[in-house]
């Protein structure tokens, strides 16, 4: 099972945990699986940590082929310990500037409503295009970058329920303008991690709702 699968199972389990699960919240389209994403705005520190981790991996591989000479192994361990100490110091700096994005799942119905809203702003355009294989004309939807960006902003607005800063301040929810600004300004790694969380929760919510339905059918 992949780490993504593990996270999906964990999110579903937490949502169904006694004391957390509420059928009333489910009916009202709340109480869905949740996730959190750590975001670090200092890209330079993040890059340094990545470089240090690569150095640690390299030393590990070198140790595997270095043989059993205690002197050589001690030299490797000394180098590794110094690099690990450096990494821990960098991680401490990063943690002091950490923002935690709390993300919640949504139903497919909610997701479709957001897509329909984006379509209202940028209607779907269909054109006739020649199929080079069949030689016949067929309907083809024209891609809309603007609609895709708006839909993604809507997803962020309705998926991110709060942001907790490194010093404990909390921003509850996002406006559409907040979502646009975050997507323009956040580092690429943060954008990727948040987008992956939203998509992962899409699967987790579907699994959650399916298991809820199965539980109620079994008890009825």
Cβ burial 58-71 (10 Å sphere, 16+ → b, else e): ebeeebeeeeeeee
| Cβ proximity of 1 and 155 under 8 Å | no
Q: Is the dihedral of CA 15, 17, 18, 19 positive or negative?
A: negative
| pLDDT string in tens for the chain (220-residue length) | 455 556 545 654 665 455 544 444 444 445 678 899 999 887 777 778 888 888 888 877 777 776 667 777 788 788 888 888 888 888 787 777 789 999 999 888 899 999 999 999 999 999 988 888 888 888 888 999 999 999 999 999 999 999 998 888 999 999 999 999 999 999 888 999 999 999 999 888 888 777 755 444 344 4
| Cβ proximity of 133 and 145 under 8 Å | no
Helices (H), 65-107: 70-95
């Amino acid at each position: 099972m992949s780490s993504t699968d593990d996270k999906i199972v964990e999110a579903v389990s937490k949502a169904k945990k006694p004391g957390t699960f509420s059928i009333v919240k489910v009916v009202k389209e709340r109480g869905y699986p949740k996730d959190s994403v750590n975001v670090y705005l200092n890209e330079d520190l993040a890059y340094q940590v990545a470089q240090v981790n690569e150095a640690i991996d390299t030393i590990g591989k070198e140790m595997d082929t270095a043989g059993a000479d205690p002197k050589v192994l001690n030299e490797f361990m000394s180098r590794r310990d110094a690099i690990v100490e450096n990494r821990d110091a960098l991680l401490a700096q990063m943690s002091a500037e950490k923002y935690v994005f709390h993300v919640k799942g949504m139903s497919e119905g909610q997701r479709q409503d957001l897509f329909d809203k984006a379509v209202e702003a940028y209607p779907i355009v269909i054109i006739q295009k020649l199929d080079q294989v069949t030689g016949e004309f067929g309907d083809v939807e024209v891609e809309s970058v603007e609609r895709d960006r708006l839909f993604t902003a809507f997803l962020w607005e309705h998926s991110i329920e709060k942001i907790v800063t490194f010093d404990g301040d909390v921003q509850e929810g996002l406006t559409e303008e907040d979502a646009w600004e975050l997507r323009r300004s956040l580092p690429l790694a943060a954008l990727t991690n948040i987008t992956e969380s939203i998509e992962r929760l899409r699967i987790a919510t579907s699994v959650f709702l399916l298991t809820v339905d199965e539980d109620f059918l079994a008890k009825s």
